[in-house]
Each structure stands twice: as structure tokens, then as C-alpha cells.
Structure 1
Amino acid sequence: MNLSQEQWWEQYQNDTNAVILDVRTEEEVEEKSIPNAINIDIYKGQEFLDELEKLDKNKNYYVYCKAGGRSNQACLLMGQIGFENTFNLLGGITEWEGPVNE
């Protein structure tokens, strides 16, 4: 499900079962990231899927990337392997105005 910046952050803050997932590269994460996010790089292909399989599928995943494309793809992939609740951050970290690690 695609959520606007405001919806995504508000819903995350009120979700006791939430996990933030950053699907960008390590280099991108080092530049700027959302606090408490898990990083699994979608460009790693099979390794990305292997890492997803280690996650708890009963949690709610708030997924982001740079602009929203990779995270949308990640949400679709996660849905195919059994994750029920994934939320894509529209606009990605490029449009993010919430807290960051820099």
C-alpha cells in the first residue's frame, strides 16, 4: 500500500507492530536515513530475498528508498512471499521531512 509522507509516519508512530525497512544501498544509507530502520539492499537480488525470509512476516513493514520506486517493488515482492502488511513511502527519503540520521 502506498502512503503519503504524513500518513506513513503517523501510522508508523501509532503501530506497536511496526518495522521500518530501508531498501537502498549501504552508501545511500550512510548519507541519510530514517532512525531505527533495518537496511536490506534490494539490488542484491537473491540475497535480498534471503534476508527478507529471516524477517517476521507478522509484523507491519514501513518500506522506503530514495524516491519510492525500489520500495514499491520491495512491497510487491514481500507480498508475493507472504508478508501481509507493507507500506510504501511515496516520494521516499528525497521528500522526507521527519527525523533522520545524518
Structure 2
Amino acid sequence: MADLTQQQWCEQCEKDDNAVILDVRTDAEFEEGYIPGAIQIDIFNGAEFLQRAKQLDPHKNYYVYCRSGGRSGQACMLLNSVGVKNAYNLKGGIMEYKGETIN
């Protein structure tokens, strides 16, 4: 797991042909706006989160975000624990994200 600044996260994700963007916020938060192409898996729903995490391709690179960076950090550690090698946490979360979002 790596904590990346907004700039690092965006630049790395943009250049990564193997990137998957994960939004780990709740359904209500997701509906307020999300990063284009993001897959939502609510970390607050622990059992479902772990089940879906185990189904992810462990060879992909996961760019993970939440509201402020805390939950996504936890999600990255959980992803690592189920065999995902590359999980990148967006420091500051979507609150500080300056890129495109879908509302």
C-alpha cells in the first residue's frame, strides 16, 4: 500500500494501463459525485467488502479513494491482505480531489 498525494495519484493512474479506480464510500456518498470509471465497494459493509475484494484481479493496480483518505487507507490494507499487491491510497480523498467528477 502506498499513500499518494493528489498529483501523484492522478499522474500515476493516468499512465497506468492496468489501473482500476475503487471508491470505498457509502452508496449515498457515491451518489453525491464520484471519479469517472470508479467501481464502488462500501467498506462500511465489511463482509461484502471482503467478499468482493477477494474477487478482484490481484494483478491489477487499484487506486482507492474515500471522502478524506482514512477509509481508503484501511481498504488498501484489506486489499493487500487478500492478495492484491498494488493498492494506492488517495491522500485527502475526494474532498481534495481537483480532477473530473461525475455528479
| Band of TM-score, shorter chain | over 0.9
Report the equivalent of 1:15: 16
TM-score, structure 2 as length reference: 0.98
Higher helix content, 1 or 2: 1
Gaps of 5+ in 2: none
CA RMSD across the alignment = 0.5
Gapped runs of 5+ residues in structure 1? none
Distance in 1 (alpha carbons) for counterparts of 2:45 and 2:97: 24
2:59 aligned partner, one-letter code: N
Secondary structure at the aligned position of 1:19 is classed as strand
Moved over 6 A (4+): none
Counterpart secondary structure, 2:58: coil
TM-superposed deviation, 1:54:
1.2
Cα drift, residue 81 of structure 1: 1.1
TM-score, scaled relative to structure 1 = 0.99
Give the letter for the 2:25 counterpart. R
Cα distance in 2 for partners of 1:63, 1:98 equals 15
Percent of paired sites with the same residue = 55
